Structure formats: structure tokens, C-alpha cells
Amino acid sequence: QANVAYGLWPANSEGDDIILYEDEKRADELLRFSMLRQQKIRKGVTLSLSDFIAPKDSGIGDYIGAFAVTTGINAEELAKKYEKDNDDYNAIMVKAIADRLAEAFAELMHQKVRHEWGFPDEKGIMNEELIKEKYRGIRPAFGYPACPDHSEKEKLFDILDAPSVGINLTENYSMFPAASVSGLYFSNEKSRYFTVGRINQSQVSDYASRKGETEQKIKLLLGSNLS
């Protein structure tokens, strides 16, 4: 079974934070997604995902999307049924097919959201072009190179109320069912994927302050990104 939770929120950026507002008045903050910035200059710039949202002091009312999809509802139970019958092949195939369907569902929902947001794909766009991401916007997932901190999923799941559609987080921020995909929608025409890479102590301190966490906790969360 496939389920989805998604939405669009008024948003602006402030430094390396992305602010989501309660409503169109943009007076009350709903939450902030804390982002990291590249410290190694690549192609003349150091990128943060916050760069793709209009700054708070720009006077531009921007937006951001969020989503969580799954195609794994009941997949675990079905796989266990095959395992009980000593049918390892079908048990593995259930999980593999569910994983592939989750990625396909995420792609389908992104296309639907682009249309709802007001910038639909060009008529006649081919599957090959979709695979090569020949469309406007990106959908980075927490834990991936541009936003490597898995713990930000907690905020994402809160605003989406993802558990209400059967998608939950484990204590280690893994999604359950496993055949699930979640992340953010960016509409900026110049938005692109990138790798944050290694960060130094100054950014660890700044990130900890913005998230309201200890530096020790941040180092545990971002171990593989530390210089």
C-alpha cells in the first residue's frame, strides 16, 4: 500500500536557516530547518540549501515544500509470510520491489507538486528526461550530501504528521516502513544538488547554537562530515 503526506509552506531564509511560517502573514515562525554550508569553495561559491530560498530581508515571499512517501505499508508482513514458508526469494523480492516503488512514487509526487505549484513540466516530457532531472527544482532528503543531518527529519515528520499516514522514525532517525522517502521541495530555477563535504569546528559551533544542541551531540550526528 502506498501513502503520502506533503505540503507547501510560506518560507524565507536567514543565514543558513530556512524559516517556515505559520501562515501567509509571515509573522509567526512554524519552525526552522538548520542547514550546513560548504567550506571548500567549488566553482567559485560555497553553497547551502538556504541559498535557494529568498532571504527574509529581501521582501520576497518565498515557499518551500515537504513530503514523506511510502510504498511499504504491509510489505514487512508479506515478506515475513514468505520467510515463514522458507521462500527467501520472494521475501527479498517483496522488499526490493517496495523500495523501487517508493522511489517511483517520490518522483510522481514531485511532478504532481510542480504542477500544483505553478510550474508544470513541459508538455511531452519523456521518462528519460525525468530520470535526468530535466525539470525545475530539487527534492533533497535529510541524510544526503546537501543536508547530511538525519535528525532534521524530526521537524519534517512533525509538520507533515507523517505517522498519521503510517510513516514513522526510529530512535536513530531511520524511516519505517523501510520503503519510504522523505525530503524537501525547492522551486528555485537555480537550485541544484551538491555535497556539503567536510566542516570545521567553527561551523560545528554555529550549527549547534542554531539547533540548540551541544557540540558533542552535533559531532555524533555529523561524524563523517567532520574535518
Where residue 173 falls among pLDDT bands split at 50, 70, 90? Answer: very high
pLDDT mean across residues, the chain: 96
**42 pLDDT higher than 90:** no
* Contact indicator for 207, 131 with CB cutoff of 8 Å: no
- Mean pLDDT across the stretch 117-126? 94
- Give the pLDDT of residue 82: 97
* Contact indicator for 154, 169 with CB cutoff of 8 Å: yes
User: How many alpha carbons fall within 13 Å on the CB side of residue 45?
Assistant: 6
- Mean pLDDT across the stretch 119-146? 95
- Mean pLDDT across the stretch 148-173? 98
- Give the pLDDT of residue 160: 98
Where residue 136 falls among pLDDT bands split at 50, 70, 90? Answer: very high
Where residue 57 falls among pLDDT bands split at 50, 70, 90? Answer: very high
Q: What confidence tens digit (pLDDT) does each residue in 64-99 have?
A: 999 999 999 999 999 999 999 999 999 999 999 999
**Better-predicted residue by pLDDT, 44 or 170:** 170
Helix axes 75-84 and 88-117, enclosed angle (nearest 10) = 170
The DSSP string of 136-194 is: S-B---TTBTTB--GGGHHHHHHHHTGGGGT-EE-TTS-EESSSEEEEEEB--TT----
**43 pLDDT higher than 90:** no
